[in-house]
Each structure stands twice: as C-alpha cells, then as structure tokens.
Amino acid sequence: MKVVIVESPAKAKTINKYLGKDYGVYASFGHVRDLAAKDGSVDPDNDFAMRWEVDAKAAKRLSDIGVAVKGAERVILATDPDREGEAISWHIHEILTSKKLLKDKRVDRVVFNAVTKDAIQEAMRHPREIDEALVDAYRARRALDYLVGFTLSPVLWRKLPGARSAGRVQSVALRIVCDREVEIERFVAREYWSIVAHLLTEAKAPFTARLVGADGKKINRLDVGSGAEAEAFKAALETAKFTVRSVESKPVKRHPYAPFTTSTLQQEASRKLGLAPARTMQIAQRLYEGVDIGDGAVGLITYMRTDGVDLAPEAVAAARRVIAKDFGDAYVPGAPRKYTAKAKNAQEAHEAIRPTDMTRRPREVARHLEPEQAKLYELIWTRTIACQMESAELERTTVDILAEAGARQLDFRASGQVVRFPGFLALYQEGRDDEEDEESGRLPAMRDGERLAKERIDATQHFTEPPPRYTEATLVKRMEELGIGRPSTYASTIAVLRERDYVRIEKKRLIPEDKGRLVTAFLESFFAKYVGYDFTADLEEKLDKVSNSEIDWKALLRDFWNDFSGAVGDIKDLRTTQVLDSLNELLGPHIFPSRGDSVDPRLCPVCGKGQLSLKLGKYGAFIGCSNYPECKFTRVLSPSGAESGEGDRPGVRVLGQDPDSGDEITLRSGRFGDYVQQGEGEKPKRSSLPRGLKADDVTLEKALALLALPREVARHPTS
C-alpha cells in the first residue's frame, strides 16, 4: 500500500479515483502545526530556534495518517506546488519522523499543477525530495511575521490602548489605504470648463468636437478655469465659421491580455463579478481541487496561486483548436502567443491560471456548477482562449477643425475609433476601474476643407475630483505594483484589516477607521522604516532569494532583528505625551479640520480656553480639552458632526441632544450589540436595545426613554 497525503478532502477524493486501489489518499486539512501563540516561540538568542505546536484539530487527522503510514511501503507527499504546500509537506514529514513512523520507508514529494489524471500520473513518475530552500523561505517568513507581531504588538497595547496587533505586511497595506485617505482630505477641487461644439457635416451627419487651442496656444483640460472665460469663448464661437483642417485615420492594433495570474484574476473577478478577493480564491480552490461534472470529480482549472503568465504548449495548441472551431481560422494567429513575466521566484513560477481542458466550454459545465463557480470558470476560460486569439484591428480617426471667429482662430478636435476586425474582442474585453475611452465610436465621413455647420456650443462647468479610495481589487493591484506580499497573501491581508476593524467597506471602497489611522500614524512616527514600501518590497525580494538558495535564511533574520529590536527598545521609554504630540501633529488635519473661518479648530468649543487634543483612555483614543478637570468636554475621535450633532460618524449615529443636559445622544454598535449612549467620557450612560427593537427604528425619544431606565415608578406602601 502507498499512502498519498494532500491538504484537502476534496482534492483527496478527486485524485483517489486516478490512482487505483494500491493507493490510500489522506487529507491533512491544511496546515497541521504552527508557531505556538506565546512569547518565545522564535528565540533570537538561540539562533532563531522555532517552537512548533500541533493544531488541536489536526491531532486526530495526524493520528489517522500515522496509522496508515505505519502499514505503508511508500509515503507520497502531494501538497500544493508552492511555498505553503512545501511547508505542509515538511511539517508532516517532521511529525511522522518524530514518531519514528518513516523508518525504512521511501518518502517522495510530488507536485502537479492540475488535478487531472494525466498531470497526477506524470507527477508520480517524477518524484523528488522536499525542497529545503522553499521550506527555509517559509520559516523565514513565519519568523519575521512572528517577531514583528509579538514584539510590536505589546508596544502598541501600552502606548495606544484599544489598538490590536500589527502584522508585518498588513501594516503596510493599511498604510496604503490611509495614505490615500490623506490625499483625499488634502485635495482641493479646481474648477474648469469644457467647450464642446455640436457640429454637422455637409451630409448633415452630427458629431461633437472639443476646444483644444486658441490663437496659436494649446488649451489643456484645466486651462479654462472660470465661467467668464468659458462665456467669452462661447460668445466668440456663436458667429464662428467651422472648417475641417485635416482628417487623419490610422490603423491601430490591440493585442489580447495575458492569461490570469492570482492578482489579475482577483482584480477582474472583482470588477466583473463583484467578488471579494477572498471569495474569488475560495471558489478557485474548489474548481482546482475538483468538481463532479457528471463523470466524477475532476479539476477544472490549474493551480490558482501563481505569478506566472506562461501556458503549457499542449494548452496553447488546444486553445488554438477551439478558436478555429468556434470563430474560424481568421481568428487564429500565425504563431502561438507567448507571454512572459519577471518571475519573483523561479521555483514558484507556475503556469498561468487556465482551464485544465480547453474543450470544456462554460455552457457545457455550468449546469454542474454553483452559480459563482460557473461565472468564475467562464471568466478564466474566456480570458485563456482570448489570450491566444488574433489581435483586434481598429481604425482611429482624428479630425482637426478650425473655427474662425473674427480675428480669432480657435482649434477643435474630434476623435473616434471603429473596429475593423474584432479579433479577441469578439470573445473578451477586460473590465476597467475608470470610465470607458471617450474615443470609442465612429466619426462621420469628412474631407479636408469641408465646411461644417454649427448646431450649438456647450460650455460646461466641471471640478477636479480627488483620487478614488481603493477597492479590494485596486489595493491588490497596488500591493503587487509595490512588490508587497505574494499571491497567496493578498486576500488574507485584506481580511485581517477588516477583522481588526482597521478598515471598513462602503460601496466597495476601503475606508480606514480611526483605529487604523491611529495605528498607521503611530507606526509612521516611530517605526517609519518598517512600514516603508521600499523596505517591505526589499524584504520580499530577500525571501525570494532564500527560496532560490541565494542567501541564508538565518542571516536574513539576524540582519532584520538587530535593527528591529533596537528600534523597539528605543520606543519603550517614550512618554505618553510624546506619543500624543506626534499623533496630534500627524492626524491634525483629520481630527481637527479647519471650519473655514479664522477660529483655531483646536480651540475647545465649551470653555473657549483649552486646546483640544488626543487623549488615551481605557477603551482607546478620544478628544478632550486641555483645561480638564475644569472643562470636561470630550468627543469621539472622528470629526464629522462631532460638535454640532450633524452627520454620522463611523459606527455612530447622532440622534440629537438631551433637552436637560445638552449631552449628545448617539446610537452605537458594540461587541455585544447595538446600544444608545448619552454624552462622552470614560463612563457615559448607556443602555442596550431591548429585543425586538431594531437599530433603524431608534429615535431620539426612544433613546431618551431607554436611558431614563431604571426609574422610580412608585414606592411600596411600607417604605
């Protein structure tokens, strides 16, 4: 008997049917052990010795695997073909060795990029040993994350009550979100006007052209900055004569997109299917491990954690056959398309994500899949087929127009493009985060010197807009651009930020919570190097060098720890006032925004003497007056409506004021459910919502009634 060990029961079930009765396939259900969640599990003073602990849930599964291994002649470790998969195989091997179950047994490591019969049988013919370099890279990453978390988190807890642990990569991802919020807050809208002429050709065909120049000077998008300027142009154009100066048409080719990597799949699934990265990976995992499509379970896609964009030759050949059959020979390029990307790690440069069988068209397998599975499979299939199709042939036309208005000469331009041959666009077009190209669409036929008739001139006011907040997909894209994290970490990194209440999602956009901004400001003030984009990306490159056997993993840890431990030591002696002063300065524009008048935004609105400042209480940060205890004014951190009662704050809905005390009455959400609160401070009066009363139904009157409880309704006659 040969024992095969994989991660998941779904994968075990799928490959079991391919191997026959001489094999027993067992699942570890993912990682079976991790660093013990206690101080000292990585010991820098003992050459970074690591203390591993078997997961309680994994103990029974390991026992079952041990029984099977005891009676086996050969053990085959067949976990996923990446750093995490290599680590799982290493852990299992270490545990079985410690139990002395591998004596005189052959142990092999096999990897396959697709859960199909051919791929598995081919892998079985080419076993290898566990890749120690990949395991070293895994151990280095876990040690780094542990050392940062267990060293930095206690500092955070002491200096910033209410803050939770700070992960190495998560902290940098949070900084990206917070930096964008700062950009938005500092943004000052700029007015500009567009001048558009609605024109007719001699054949009475309508089109529009935009003002691009005046009197020999180029006019850019923001150059017309006021209504008066716009009206002057419009007035001059009312009697202008329009003539075609030149018509230029040139062919343009658009080439298909590369097949999916982990990052691009997450981005496109978010744009087109509305799936969060974590959900995309869950669905892709199921498609990879195997789905029953009528003839037993079969893996429908290749491994979904990859930076690679290459395709196997047989996959390319199969795609070209499908294209010829479904679209015709004109859509098949003369030579197969080959895509390349700079591999971060040669040992992890897997194939791109693709269907395991190109002839399994989405419509044929959809009835066997859940709706989300069917949509994601179709997305992967169409992208893969499209990447091997002929380029689209377009014609882009630019018409330059002269408007003669008395002594003035104004330049207009009209642009458009038409599809002459759709090529890959007949099947697939990538989703976009911005608006579609203004040049799409056909222009009517025109010739040089043609006279044009004016229908009307539009002068439209616009304002520049701040950069948009990140979506989960655009954050993944930004992290990839910066070299932060790896395909297997993107989704979990964002999930951790949400779980720790550092960010929230509104209308698919990531908005940093005050808690997240405080943590980022603290880290930027005192650990700037360790949340630096370049530093984090450089560390990722060093981890890749470890996995390529280029540098020693413990040397990497020593270099990191020598600097990091010193930085933490310096911060431990900081006084709370120093921390608060730094946070007040960094977060000042956010928590003390200008009110548009000459009044100091930090002046206490109650006593008019004290300065508002960040304070740290038992439950986290709040705003208080420096004139305490004479002035007891406090408010929550968010500035929006904090003093006037206007608007809502994150997690807080302002209901109004108590008519007797003037205290603000708010509805909040806490760890034990919704509640109402009167005022601010360390011990404000609170009351939980009774069962049956929904948060949306709470009014000021109902809140005041709840806060009045308990109240005396009568006295006992004997009292």
Q: Strand 49-50 vs strand 23-27: parallel, antiparallel, or unpaired?
A: unpaired
Going by C-alpha positions, the residue among 673, 267, 271 that lies closest to residue 494 is: 267
Cβ(218)–Cβ(383) under 8 Å? no
Cβ(513)–Cβ(497) under 8 Å? no
What's the residue count for the chain?
719
Q: Do residues 156 and 125 share a domain?
A: no
Q: How far apart are the C-alpha atoms of 291 and 297, rounded to whole Å?
A: 5
pLDDT in tens, 270-315: 999 999 898 999 999 999 999 988 878 889 999 998 888 999 999 9
Q: Do residues 6 and 123 share a domain?
A: yes
Q: How far apart are the C-alpha atoms of 62 and 95, rounded to whole Å?
A: 9
Q: Do residues 54 and 84 share a domain?
A: yes
- Would the pLDDT of 461 be above 90? yes
Query: Quick one: pLDDT band at residue 411, thresholds 50, 70, 90?
Result: very high
The predicted pLDDT at position 284 comes to 95
Q: How far apart are the C-alpha atoms of 430 and 425, rounded to whole Å?
A: 9
Cβ(576)–Cβ(159) under 8 Å? yes
Cβ burial of 452 (10 Å; 0-12, 13-18, 19+) is: buried
Question: Does residue 584 fall inside a structural domain?
Answer: no
pLDDT in tens, 58-90: 888 899 899 999 888 999 999 998 888 999 999
Q: Point out which residues pair with 459 in neighbouring strands.
A: 195
Q: Do residues 409 and 558 share a domain?
A: no
Question: Does residue 41 fall inside a structural domain?
Answer: yes
Q: Do residues 277 and 380 share a domain?
A: yes
Domain of residue 491 covers: 139-187+468-576
Question: Does residue 29 fall inside a structural domain?
Answer: yes
The predicted pLDDT at position 26 comes to 92
Q: How far apart are the C-alpha atoms of 131 and 547, rounded to whole Å?
A: 9
Of the residues 359, 386, 413, which one is the last residue of a structural domain? Answer: 386
**CATH at 353:** 1.10.290.10
Question: Does residue 586 fall inside a structural domain?
Answer: no
Q: Do residues 502 and 541 share a domain?
A: yes
Of the residues 463, 494, 509, which one is the last residue of a structural domain? Answer: 463
**Within 13 Å and on the Cβ side, how many CA atoms surround 447?**
3
**CATH at 458:** 2.70.20.10
Question: Does residue 563 fall inside a structural domain?
Answer: yes
Q: How far apart are the C-alpha atoms of 244 and 251, rounded to whole Å?
A: 21
- Residue appearing with tokens 């001699």: 202
Cβ(206)–Cβ(200) under 8 Å? yes
Of the residues 91, 113, 130, which one is the last residue of a structural domain? Answer: 130
Question: Does residue 20 fall inside a structural domain?
Answer: yes
Question: Does residue 427 fall inside a structural domain?
Answer: yes
Q: Do residues 200 and 118 share a domain?
A: no
Roughly how many angstroms between the first and final C-alpha of the chain, as a whole number?
Answer: 85
Q: Do residues 604 and 639 share a domain?
A: yes
Q: How far apart are the C-alpha atoms of 116 and 19, rounded to whole Å?
A: 11
The percentage of residues in the chain with a pLDDT greater than 70, rounded to a whole number, is: 92
The 3-class secondary structure across 680-713, one letter per residue, is: CCCCCEEEECCCCCCHHHCCHHHHHHHHCCCCCC
Q: Do residues 99 and 202 share a domain?
A: no
Q: Do you find a cis peptide bond into 487, omega within 30 degrees of 0?
A: no
Question: Does residue 585 fall inside a structural domain?
Answer: no
Q: What predicted TM-score, i.e. pTM, was given to this entire model?
A: 0.80
Q: Do residues 561 and 629 share a domain?
A: no
Residues 192, 303, 428, 675: which is the catalytic one? Answer: 303
pLDDT in tens, 188-213: 899 999 999 999 999 999 999 999 99
Catalytic annotation present for 303: yes
Q: Do residues 418 and 446 share a domain?
A: yes
Residues with Cβ within 8 Å of residue 188, at least 6 apart in sequence? none
**CATH at 116:** 3.40.50.140
The percentage of residues in the chain with a pLDDT greater than 90, rounded to a whole number, is: 49
Q: Strand 612-617 vs strand 509-512: parallel, antiparallel, or unpaired?
A: unpaired
The predicted pLDDT at position 435 comes to 43
Number of domains in the chain: 5
Q: Do residues 27 and 70 share a domain?
A: yes
pLDDT in tens, 680-700: 766 788 898 888 787 778 888
